[in-house]
Structure 1
Amino acid sequence: MADTTETPGITVRPSLTADLLDRIGRSAEHVVIPLLALIVSGCLFSLFLLALGKSPVDFLSLVWRGGFGTSFSWQNTLVRSAPLIFTALCVAIPARLGLVIIGGEGALVLGGFAAAAIAIPMIDWAPGFLLLGVMALAAMVAGGLWIGCVGALRHYRGVNETIASLLMFYIAVSILNFFVEGALRDPSDPNKPSTRPIGSDNMIGAIPGTDVHWGLPVGVVLCVLLYLLMNRTTFGFAAQIAGGNLRAAQAQGLPVGRLVVVSCALAGACAGLTGFFEVAAIHGKANASLIAGYGFTGILVSFLARHNPLVIVPVAIFLGGIAASGGLIQRRMDLPDATVLVLQGLLFLVILVSETFYGRFSIFKPRSRTR
């Protein structure tokens, strides 16, 4: 029988109580520290604005109006949030194994290029649903193989995954430029090197009544599915064991190499899917516009969400709203559009610093009491 402490009318199991308090403390810690990081980032950015002679209150008001104040603002925010959800997943899934992948932008670029390239010979004869299905599959395979290679290099050759994924981003951009400016260039567009357009009839439409494409609900569903995979399956449990203690996972006979490669491949497929939606729902073709920085902003989204797929959605919407307000801030405050990038950079730095504070505050730790 478990040890119990009896009081008049109440029987308490100390082990169960301590476990519950521990879970509550950790959950509170994962909420409070990111919120404090946001507040500190806001204070630092306010000092930056004051140094420029600008009002932080006006800036906050314009962010609200440009990102969330009207129906048009909300739709603009949601359009920008969709790619952030996918690229954040590219960071969050490998993070469960202790891997830091920052090259999701490369998988995005290569996925978008693969989707556009495979569509070229099919445009004139394939029905729209078949064309889009093949494009999505090609994008996921290209992105999955790209980041999967990073995982293989990490496990089998000991190559640092952060450096490898970043360097492979530049290789992906070079591959895109090589083909878009060469063999696959559309001669009818002399101004901007691009692949042949897939055609307006083959584009992914918007959700009825909105200007938001279907990539957003797909991203939300994908977050739920990956949350269940990483938290409710043996694969996710094994990944967390490997991420928490690699030697213990190997001692238990877990296939660590396969876990690393598969997790990275899943992450790359998510980023590749971003490229598909950028081609099929936004640009209609592959060109340099695919290099929009969504992969790097997704890093911030994932870290701010503590690599939790369910929390990624609201965080992506939050940062998408900040990005959507950039144009309004530029016009009303006479600040460059890149001002929001300064804010994102401060957020990222403070979030990284805040990682060192987890587990250091006694208020979040349960206190065992004996009587």
Structure 2
Amino acid sequence: MVDVTKADRMAVGQGSALADTLDRFRRSSEFVIMPILALIVSGLLFSIFLLALGKSPADFFSLVWRGGFGTSFSWQNTLVRSSPLIFTALCVAIPARLGLVIIGGEGALVLGGFAAAAIAIPMIPWAPSFLLLPVMALAAIIAGGIWIGLVGALRHYRGVNETIASLLLFYIAVSILNFFVEGALRDPSDPNKPSTMPIGRDNMIGAIPGTDVHWGLVFGIVLATLLYLLMNRTTFGFAARITGGNLRAAQAQGLPVGKLMVISCAIAGACAGLAGFFEVAAIHGKANASLIAGYGFTGILVSFLARHNPLVIVPVAIFLGGIAASGGLIQRRMDLPDATVLVLQGLIFVVLLVSETFYGRLPFFRSKGDL
């Protein structure tokens, strides 16, 4: 009789453990299913927009696939565009762990690219590429880190809203770039487009063997992995999550909230600065207005779609990079502006923000004890 009772208790315990596991799975699946649903809803709304223009949604999405992922050339074009998106999305994701909304990563990218090009100018005549490129990267990291780190300092010490501060600093960064490339650092041999002097083809970062994709993609994936470990497997990341979850509780526990904010923002800015470095050293070969390509703002969408998870940022950046890469094909085949894909990205962002209001409210994703 005793054995039967033990068996019954074990069965009940196993059933309870299974139910708890299912509840946890259902709650965690919300963070995967909701972004996917947001993408589906965005696609449906955009289809209505296309129908109103007299265009076929099926043709549009077919061209998006073909232009972004359909061929080897498309894939390489997508991966080239994905590289800066990974860096700028990390610029949003790291401060987001502390509850900070940084939207000025484009400014750190611009300033990082400019700093990399500016420091290279006096070094070009004598420095070999193996010395020049690390110095350029370091200059970009420092410039971007200081720029967004300033946002964290303003937020903690002066109470300035980090979203507004980072956006205003973007315009200041653009003004700094324009001031120098149209003045003291302008290359006189290029009268058409104000630019700094080129760093030279021999000093540029090459492509991954067998592809046209530069090494920035590899650095972005490695950096995303390292930052995931930092934010999820270290005491720094744990303290950052505590601060983001409850600022007053973090202060009550004696956590250095100000230092956490400044360091996290500096790390974020360094990531965006690296994006600027690779744009100069691997794509343009010099600093000019081409650095202002919108990667910093698209990175916001990438980070939100990835739920600020550095590892998930990589595939999401590739996905949105593919959409952006298809713009030219859509323009040629459907007689639509190249900016049509920007409309789609904006719609995805709006729907994604609306979907945030449904987290924790849908009965399917809630545990039985919460119903």
TM-score (norm 2): 0.96
- Check if 1:262 corresponds to 2:263: yes
Counterpart residue number, 2:199: 198
Distance 1:284 1:228, change over 3 A: same
**Equivalence for 1:113:** 114
Equivalent-residue separation in structure 2 for 1:150 and 1:17 (angstroms)? 46
Hey, what's the Cα distance between the residues in 1 that align with 2:81 and 2:7? 56
Conserved 8 A contact 1:181-1:194: yes
Q: Check the 8 A contact 2:27/2:367 in 1, yes or no.
A: no
| Secondary structure class of the residue paired with 2:30 | helix
Question: How much has 1:129 moved relative to structure 2?
Answer: 1.0
* C-alpha displacement of 1:364: 1.4
Q: How far apart, in 1, do the equivalents of 2:249 and 2:230 lie?
A: 22
Contact 1:18 1:366 in 2 (8 A): no
Matches within 5 A, 1:73-222: 73-222=74-223
Q: Deviations over 1:118-174 (max 9, x none)?
A: 000100101101100000000000000000000000011000000000000000000
Residue in structure 2 matched with residue 229 of structure 1 by the alignment: 230
Q: Which consecutive unaligned segments of at least 5 residues does structure 2 have?
A: 1-5
Distance 1:18 1:114 in 2: 56
Name the counterpart of 1:67. Answer: 68
CA contact (8 A) 2:151 2:162 kept: yes
Aligned equivalents of 2:43, 2:111: Cα separation in 1: 35
1:265-276 aligned within 5 A: 265-276=266-277
Structure 2 letter corresponding to 1:283? H
What is the CA-CA distance between 1:6 and the residue it aligns to? 6.9
CA distance in 2, matches of 1:211, 1:133: 22
Q: CA RMSD of the aligned region, Å?
A: 1.6
Alignment of 1:305-324 (within 5 A): 305-324=306-325
Residue 125 of structure 1 aligns to a residue in which SS? coil
Give distance in 2, aligned partners of 1:276 and 1:231: 27
* AA aligned opposite 1:276: F
Q: Secondary structure at the match of 1:196?
A: coil
Q: Specify whether residues 19 and 150 from structure 1 end up closer, same or farther in structure 2 by C-alpha distance, changes over 3 A only.
A: farther
Q: TM-score, normalised by structure 1?
A: 0.96
Amino acid at match of 1:113: F
| 1:24 Cα deviation after fit | 1.7
**5+ unaligned residues in a row in structure 1: which ranges?**
none
Q: Secondary structure at the match of 1:280?
A: helix
Q: Secondary structure of 2:368's match?
A: coil
Native 8 Å contact 2:92 2:105 kept in 1:
yes
Structure 1 residues 21-59: Cα deviation after superposition (integer angstroms, max 9, x where no partner): 453233200011101100100000000000000000000
| In structure 1, distance between residues paired with 2:324 and 2:273 | 22
Give the Cα–Cα distance (whole angstroms) in 1 for the partners of residues 247 and 23 of structure 2.
Answer: 24
1:55 and 2:52 aligned: no
Match of 2:344 in 1: 343
